[in-house]
């Protein structure tokens, strides 16, 4: 006697770029899931269709879905939410993957249904290369995914979100949206801005001193690699997390002023101790 | 009839760490050269002896050498110079590999013999891992080596220095010591300081917020990798190139103030254009 086929869960991936495409590859071989994607622009829909079945309209992708992954830019998430409950399965779980959480969580909390269906998430799995053509089945493996519930999210819903991320090999870390935004402001958004300012300073100097190009080594390349990221995505981040980023930028500028004063003092032992302390912190990362 | 053995040139490597050790590996198979190294401390002499024959005293290493490579810290170079001419071969070529050139070149120029024997050099081949155990025969391959002659260095001596670096696969770029120091202040020394200040800011914040550790991703790791470098070496660099580093640090702080003002304006189009401009510059590196 044949074992009756267990009904597959439908996963809708809205916005199949690097993160959405990598989800598609990581989930693609799980037999209890059926995937469907959607991209707004037909060109990117076509590129994504090498990774998973793509729907021609968003409603069709979301209809009867058990999981809806919103993988679009941060500033589009809240406007997408209201149309989902009418289309998706009655117990659908909606998650996003964008880099800023507090504004999204606060606005989403205004929908009475949101605590039962929407859990904001942020996988720490970005790369400087975007687009579905850079998707990688192992992108999430061993990575942290921040799961930042709304004030009224029930434990059972939070648990479903945490378990979902285990499917792609990620480790869920539950955190308030506000704390999350503060942490990434320092570990991701500030470094991006600092690297951008460094490249900008270099670019201006290079116009008059083209030979400086030969003095670019692996250190400069490492330090500025993140500035290869998607400009539109980073513009959203800078707007949506401006308060926390501004706070750390101001703190950091004060730190640079201290260093500038230290340079003028020319005390070598002082510098050695400073770099030793910093290396110790860095080696623990 | 046997072809008479061509006399080998002797190469002394004073200070066999990452750079000196990598030179030893890259030159080790060249049959017209015989190598001998020297390290001050017996422990590091022992570690280096896996790479090349090590002399027990510095004089023995330098005696009758045709090439003397000074691979010690920046602030030791000038004090090593005066003893070399009496020991080395009469047409010996001395080069150093340290990161700051102007102070060394200026002080060396006071020795009347220096233009004929000493050419300051700087290979752009640093790594954050130091010591002879990290030596790599391919470290110099395809890398730029800045060759920064003294005011009176004859063309023939400069040419010998340029040709030496070709032996290890590097591309020599001739530049004045002052220009060199200005270029690397922006592409190497400032980035190091910025990364150190970022790690420092992070370290202080983490003391009260240990969970931030989970928010450290590949971007933060890339940006701060250079802070793993040797603290004593970087202390020397900060002292010996303080003027140029201070200049760019001040310029950079002004750039950050501009960005802080831009954050408060919250104009998204503006940010997108900014990040696009920066990405364009970065992609040309």
For residue B241, what pLDDT is reported?
Answer: 96
Is the Cβ–Cβ distance between B97 and B172 less than 8 Å?
A: no
What element of type H or E holds B255? Answer: helix B242-265
E strands, A150-203, are: 171-174
Distance from CA of B224 to the nearest CA of A (A): 7
**C-alpha dihedral (A81, A85, A87, A89), degrees to nearest 10:** 130
Q: What is the mean pLDDT of chain A?
A: 94
Mean pLDDT value of segment A139-168: 97
pLDDT in tens, B207-231: 999 999 999 998 899 899 999 988 9
Question: Could you give the ipTM of this predicted complex?
Answer: 0.90
The yes-or-no verdict on residue A189 having pLDDT over 60 is yes
Alpha helices for B56-154 (secondary structure H) = 58-62, 77-80, 84-87, 102-108, 114-117
Gap between the Cα atoms of A27 and A9, Å rounded: 12
The yes-or-no verdict on residue A182 having pLDDT over 70 is yes
CB–CB of B223 and A195 under 8 A? yes
Of the candidates A250, A271, A277, the beta carbon closest to that of B238 is on A271
Report the chain B residue with the minimal C-alpha distance to residue A270.
B235
E strands, chain B, are: 9-14, 33-38, 67-70, 93-96, 118-123, 144-147, 171-174
Looking at beta carbons, which residues of chain A come within 8 Å of B182?
209
Sign of the CA dihedral with B22 first, then B175, A209, and B75 last: positive
Interface of B with A in 138-177 (CB under 8 A): 143-144, 146, 173, 175
Distance from CA of A140 to the nearest CA of B (A): 12
Looking at beta carbons, which residues of chain B come within 8 Å of A251?
201
Looking at beta carbons, which residues of chain A come within 8 Å of B232?
272
CB–CB of A263 and B285 under 8 A? no
Is the Cβ–Cβ distance between B111 and B81 less than 8 Å?
A: yes
Supply B113's token pair: 């013999």
Interface of B with A in 194-253 (CB under 8 A): 194-203, 205-206, 209, 211-229, 231-232, 234-236, 238-239, 242, 245-246, 248-253
CB–CB of B202 and A276 under 8 A? no
Walk along chain B (285 residues) and give the pLDDT tens digit of each residue: 445 556 899 999 999 999 999 999 999 999 999 999 999 999 999 999 999 999 999 999 999 999 999 999 888 999 999 999 999 999 999 999 999 999 999 999 999 999 999 999 999 997 778 899 999 999 999 999 999 999 999 999 999 999 999 999 999 999 999 999 999 999 999 999 999 999 999 999 999 999 999 999 988 998 999 999 889 989 999 999 999 999 999 999 999 999 999 998 877 679 999 999 999 999 998
Q: Is some CB atom of chain A closer than 8 A to the CB atom of B261?
A: no
Of the candidates B183, B205, B232, the beta carbon closest to that of A215 is on B183
For residue B265, what pLDDT is reported?
Answer: 83
Looking at beta carbons, which residues of chain A come within 8 Å of B200?
255, 274, 277-278, 281
Gap between the Cα atoms of B27 and B25, Å rounded: 6
Gap between the Cα atoms of B181 and B225, Å rounded: 22
Mean pLDDT value of segment A40-46: 94
For residue A91, what pLDDT is reported?
Answer: 95
Gap between the Cα atoms of B66 and B34, Å rounded: 10
pLDDT in tens, B142-186: 999 999 999 999 999 999 999 999 999 999 999 999 999 999 999
Mean pLDDT value of segment A92-99: 97
pLDDT in tens, A66-88: 999 999 988 899 999 999 999 99
Looking at beta carbons, which residues of chain B come within 8 Å of A179?
211
The SS3 of residue B93 is strand
Report the chain B residue with the minimal C-alpha distance to residue A176.
B211
For residue B5, what pLDDT is reported?
Answer: 59
Instruction: Supply the pTM of this predicted model.
Output: 0.90
Looking at beta carbons, which residues of chain A come within 8 Å of B206?
281
**C-alpha dihedral (B152, B157, B161, B166), degrees to nearest 10:** 140
The yes-or-no verdict on residue A112 having pLDDT over 50 is yes
Distance from CA of B263 to the nearest CA of A (A): 6
């Amino acid at each position: 006697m044949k074992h009756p086929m267990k009904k597959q869960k439908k996963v809708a991936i809205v916005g199949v770029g690097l993160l959405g495409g990598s989800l598609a590859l990581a989930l693609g071989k799980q037999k209890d899931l059926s995937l469907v994607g959607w991209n707004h622009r037909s060109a990117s829909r076509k590129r994504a269709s090498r990774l998973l079945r793509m729907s021609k309209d968003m409603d069709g992708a979301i209809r009867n879905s058990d999981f809806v992954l919103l993988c679009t830019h941060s500033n589009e998430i809240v406007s997408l939410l209201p149309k989902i409950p009418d289309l998706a399965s009655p117990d659908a779980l909606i998650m996003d993957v964008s880099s800023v959480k507090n504004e999204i969580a606060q606005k989403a909390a205004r929908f009475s249904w949101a605590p039962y269906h929407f859990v904001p998430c942020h996988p720490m799995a970005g790369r400087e290369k975007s687009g579905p053509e850079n998707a990688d089945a192992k992108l999430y493996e061993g990575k942290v995914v921040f799961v930042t519930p709304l004030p009224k999210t029930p434990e059972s819903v939070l648990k479903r979100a945490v378990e979902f991320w285990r499917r792609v090999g990620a480790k869920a870390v539950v955190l308030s949206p506000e704390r999350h935004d503060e942490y990434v402001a320092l570990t991701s958004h500030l470094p991006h801005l600092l690297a951008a300012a460094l490249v900008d300073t270099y670019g201006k100097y290079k116009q008059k001193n083209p030979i400086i190009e030969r003095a670019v080594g692996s250190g400069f390349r490492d330090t500025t690699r993140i500035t290869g990221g998607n400009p539109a995505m980073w513009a959203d981040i800078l707007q949506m997390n401006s308060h926390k980023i501004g706070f750390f930028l101001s703190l950091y500028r004060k730190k640079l002023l201290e260093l500038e004063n230290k340079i003028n003092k020319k005390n070598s032992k002082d510098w050695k101790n400073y770099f030793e302390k910093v290396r110790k912190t860095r080696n623990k990362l």
